[in-house]
Amino acid sequence: MGNRWIHRANFNSNINLRPWWRVNMSSDLSFVKVSGKRVNTQFSTFSLGANNNLILRNDLIIRLNTSLNNGDSSSYGVPNDFIRVYASASVTKKFLSDQLQVIAQVHDIFGTGNRKENSYTIGSTTYTSRNTIQRPSVSLNISYRFASGSKISKKNKKASHVDGSRF
């Protein structure tokens, strides 16, 4: 057995650049140290991200998400030797007073998500794992909201014999 220390700092910011353009920026800095009989390592990781929301109309939204990182800080391996760039984009269209929503998305536009590789050593044996998900991927999501989500009025609760203490 041994000890594992993870020190992490997160910073987030939401900015309205224009009435129709919102940006959420985030960062994560980590320092990891693992010590024990078979494992002795320390490393730092980082992650930077920007999520752009372009609200063209009340019923049309374009989202562009980008991030840069050099791996995760799980301490089971060392971060990647390269900086990974991840980008995705989506278009959301709302219909029928926002009850019907259609979202078209492209994930990992540059196909860099499958380059994640982790290696760690226990004793004299080195273990390596690699993520081989095919990218980019495209998805289409369709959702319909049947109820408006409004609360039941007190008058309707009594008439329907519903236990009002639950509301």
Q: What is the pLDDT of residues 66-79, one digit of tens each?
A: 988 876 555 455 55
- pLDDT of 108 above 90: no
Q: Give the ranges where 7-121 is alpha helix by DSSP (H).
A: none
Does residue 166 form part of some domain?
A: no
Burial string for 63-87 (b: 16+ CB within 10 Å, else e) reads bebbbebbbbbebbbbbbeeebebb
- Express each pLDDT in 31-67 by its tens digit: 878 777 776 777 778 889 999 999 998 889 999 999 8
Q: Is residue 165 part of a domain?
A: no
Contact 148, 111 (CB under 8 A): no
What is the per-residue pLDDT for 152? 58
Number of domains in the chain: 1
Q: Give residues with Cβ within 8 angstroms of 13, minimum separation 6.
A: 24, 25, 26
Q: Does residue 155 belong to any structural domain of this protein?
A: no
Q: So what's the pLDDT on residue 52? A: 95
pLDDT confidence of residue 75 = 46
Peptide bond between residue 79 and the one before it cis (omega within 30 degrees of 0): no
Q: Which amino acid is at 145?
A: R
Residue 26 pLDDT > 80: yes
Domain that holds residue 118: 2-150
- Which is higher by pLDDT, 12 or 120? 12
Which pTM does this prediction carry?
A: 0.64
Q: Looking at the domain assignment, is residue 157 inside a domain?
A: no
Exposure of 113 by Cβ count < 10 A (0-12 exposed, 13-18 middle, 19+ buried)?
A: buried
pLDDT at 144 (0 to 100) = 93
Look at residue 120 and tell me whether its pLDDT is greater than 90.
no
C-alpha span between 129 and 17 (Å, rounded): 41
